[in-house]
Homo-oligomer: A and B are copies of this chain.
Amino acid sequence: MQTKIQELRKLKKVTQNELADAVNVTRQTIISLECGRYNASLILAHKIAQFFEVSIEEIFIFNQEDENL
Contact for A25 among B1, B57, B69, CB less than 8 A: B69
Q: Given A24-B67, A46-B62, A55-B57: A39 and B41 within 8 A (CB)?
A: yes
Contact for A69 among B44, B57, B67, CB less than 8 A: B44
Q: Which residues of B contact A41 (CB under 8 A)?
A: 39, 41-42, 69
Near B by CB (< 8 A), chain A positions 46-62 give 46, 55-57, 60, 62
Q: Which residues of B contact A11 (CB under 8 A)?
A: none
Inter-chain pairs besides A39-B41, A55-B55, 8 sampled, C-beta below 8 Å: A1-B42, A24-B69, A39-B42, A40-B42, A41-B42, A46-B57, A56-B56, A56-B57
